Structure 1
């Protein structure tokens, strides 16, 4: 049996890969519960965040537009951990525990282990699908999504990667929002952003501007909610193309169309149309969505008020410092070396395989046949293979971190890169998340 012991957790099969590491099924001997442990790399975090080998000096400076500028990628992880551990809402994944190896904190250039625990289950649906949700099912899940997004915005968090595969159905049958890998914190009433992250097929048109204009973070989430609702009822995205630049062009300029089948209510078409308004200034906002006739079934199912749905979370510096639980360095080394020896990582930290950085959407099935005027953005696989020398590739040195989640096999990366920074990244398929 391929397993490793780490504290009270027995690690078993690999069940996924994410932007910063791999995911292992983990059994907690203390509560007889299965979780998912994600093994992460601090070196990968720093590289993805666009930082040099040495982290920047301590001290947090507000960034233009109200976004919080992190002290560094690792410090930001601890900040996010502290926030996520305090988030407590029925429609947001609950973070339970974080583990870290303190002996490696001062070596940001070396991969080391740290882990977190949360409780996701199965994604609400895969896209594309020939079996979309009924309007009643879509309304039920969308009401949960509205409440979860309202709660996150109340906590001054922009998710930035809302899509069906990041909406997990819990044991109670309700939606839980997961994967905070590209999220932003903000100050004031809204996040004013200028960088492009997230999943291309769910990106808002204003975020694709070549002039890097400032845009509203809340409006981005509303657009992605609209694409998600469209997926709920039609089983596909409203704008699709397997060439990224063509997809961007369609999102920015192509008119929204509804398939003939299934036939949906005019109220639902109105809501989707207002959420997918290409002008963020006139796009419907969350308080208006809550009152929309389709959402409330014409008043028969009103959503709770903001006061009933939200309680403000405040995180102190002490809580940030105490947001992780230290584990023995030896246990970390044993865990990492055993996983590498058994080839359980699949070389997740190897630069030449960065095109596999996200499992947040199912393959390239989200796309249509490319148009002739658009050239591929990525090198063909055959060409890459011809350039690579024969023989086995060396295993990466160093360790990783880990994350545990209870329940189903899907696990997403939650760690956010530095807001406002732009990491170098390879071309992505429209269904892959950009970190």
Structure 2
């Protein structure tokens, strides 16, 4: 995954100040250090963040999740309620853990929920996440995937909105996708999509049939008023999630511990590499136990394909 690169530590600004003295810059490095230390069964582990000085991006390397996303949307084969409940409970715990660490994900959707070898879901992609102080984030900028954005982000006039409620809304859209295979609000044009998200009530298809308790949860998560929208603690206790109280989720203190980072970990949060292509070459050589240039093979193959009859179209 690639994200924008902040100025390197030790560089000076136009005013001659080191980024070390600038709060926002230090926060970038601290946030990365925290992301690398997140440790939860429902969060994809961030292995390393690489900075190639020849590029204007950071490269974020996550643990390999070969089974891929839990669902592709749209889908003609949505989950049964039992399947949806199983995966959604994982999402609840993952989001509760992130909020406990004072992190708003901001882009919850099925394609960012990856299946682990144990069959459970892990939350991935922290490219637009925000760290906050206090009890909740106060945000003013839009980020994420349009079909999963909350209505308060689409106001005609500029205003701030709370972060936790954004994640809950996206979780509601995701749960709807789980059982219906499509988003609750769809439009070919972005303006039309925003209008539907802001003004249209949630509509449920006749098929597949889902129970009223599940519909109730979805409606409460897709409450257009963030102040009355259901919260994570309330979702955890909802009758559909807990099977009428017979299958409770663990308490927050049972699966959440505060992540703390040292100054050394903050300083080393980003690994500087001479060239990302050089790293790829070396790793390829070690894997193949050969010190030949792997790119030469590719070049020869390309030359052969171009020189062969019909290998190149005019």
Instruction: Indicate the TM-score class for this superposition, using the shorter chain for normalisation.
Output: 0.7 to 0.9
Provide the rounded CA distance (Å) in 2 between the counterparts of 1:53 and 1:269.
Answer: 55
SS in 2 for 1:116: strand
**Does residue 157 in structure 1 map to residue 103 in structure 2?**
yes
Provide the rounded CA distance (Å) in 1 between the counterparts of 2:43 and 2:17.
Answer: 32
Look up the match of 2:65: 120
Look up the match of 2:164: 218
Aligned CA-pair RMSD: 2.9
Q: CA deviation at 1:196?
A: 0.7
Give the aligned length: 280
After superposition, the Cα gap between the structure-2 partners of 1:203 and 1:117, relative to the gap in structure 1 and judged at 3 Å, is closer
Provide the rounded CA distance (Å) in 1 between the counterparts of 2:255 and 2:157.
Answer: 37
Per-residue CA shift, 1:223-274, capped at 9, x if unaligned?
0000000000000000000100110000000111100001100000000000
After superposition, the Cα gap between the structure-2 partners of 1:53 and 1:262, relative to the gap in structure 1 and judged at 3 Å, is farther
Q: CA deviation at 1:211?
A: 1.2
After superposition, the Cα gap between the structure-2 partners of 1:271 and 1:99, relative to the gap in structure 1 and judged at 3 Å, is same
Q: CA deviation at 1:79?
A: 3.0
After superposition, the Cα gap between the structure-2 partners of 1:312 and 1:56, relative to the gap in structure 1 and judged at 3 Å, is same
After superposition, the Cα gap between the structure-2 partners of 1:273 and 1:117, relative to the gap in structure 1 and judged at 3 Å, is closer
SS in 1 for 2:25: coil
Provide the rounded CA distance (Å) in 1 between the counterparts of 2:214 and 2:103.
Answer: 27
Look up the match of 1:399: none
After superposition, the Cα gap between the structure-2 partners of 1:246 and 1:323, relative to the gap in structure 1 and judged at 3 Å, is same
After superposition, the Cα gap between the structure-2 partners of 1:155 and 1:246, relative to the gap in structure 1 and judged at 3 Å, is same
Provide the rounded CA distance (Å) in 1 between the counterparts of 2:177 and 2:36.
Answer: 30
Equivalent positions of 1:90-105 (< 5 A) are 90-101=41-52, 104=53
**Does residue 257 in structure 1 map to residue 208 in structure 2?**
no
**Does residue 88 in structure 1 map to residue 39 in structure 2?**
yes
Q: CA deviation at 1:323?
A: 2.1
**Does residue 136 in structure 1 map to residue 79 in structure 2?**
no
Q: CA deviation at 1:280?
A: 0.5
**Structure 1: where are the runs of 5+ without partners?**
1-17, 21-39, 47-51, 62-69, 344-435
Provide the rounded CA distance (Å) in 1 between the counterparts of 2:241 and 2:187.
Answer: 30
Per-residue CA shift, 1:12-64, capped at 9, x if unaligned?
xxxxxx6x4xxxxxxxxxxxxxxxxxxx674xx78xxxxx9999852344xxx
Q: CA deviation at 1:91?
A: 0.2
Whether contact under 8 Å (1:120, 1:178) holds in the other structure is no
Whether contact under 8 Å (1:113, 1:332) holds in the other structure is no
Whether contact under 8 Å (2:49, 2:58) holds in the other structure is no
After superposition, the Cα gap between the structure-2 partners of 1:279 and 1:41, relative to the gap in structure 1 and judged at 3 Å, is closer
Structure 1 length as normaliser, TM-score?
0.59
Per-residue CA shift, 1:319-346, capped at 9, x if unaligned?
111223444x2x5464589999979xxx
SS in 2 for 1:289: helix
Provide the rounded CA distance (Å) in 2 between the counterparts of 1:320 and 1:309.
Answer: 25
Whether contact under 8 Å (2:46, 2:60) holds in the other structure is no
Query: Which of residues 223, 230, 253 in structure 2 aligns to 1:307?
Result: 253
Query: Which of residues 18, 25, 30 in structure 2 aligns to 1:71?
Result: 25
Max Rg structure: 2
Equivalent positions of 1:12-411 (< 5 A) are 20=2, 42=5, 57-58=18-19, 59-61=21-23, 70-71=24-25, 76=28, 78-101=29-52, 104=53, 110-111=55-56, 114=59, 116-121=61-66, 122-327=68-273, 329=274, 332=276, 334=278
Structure 2 length as normaliser, TM-score?
0.81
After superposition, the Cα gap between the structure-2 partners of 1:339 and 1:162, relative to the gap in structure 1 and judged at 3 Å, is farther
After superposition, the Cα gap between the structure-2 partners of 1:119 and 1:264, relative to the gap in structure 1 and judged at 3 Å, is same
SS in 1 for 2:114: strand
Per-residue CA shift, 1:188-232, capped at 9, x if unaligned?
000011111100000000011121211110000000000000000
After superposition, the Cα gap between the structure-2 partners of 1:54 and 1:231, relative to the gap in structure 1 and judged at 3 Å, is farther
Quick one: higher RCO (CA 8 Å, sep 6+), 1 or 2?
A: 1
Q: CA deviation at 1:145?
A: 0.3
> Greater strand share, 1 or 2?
1
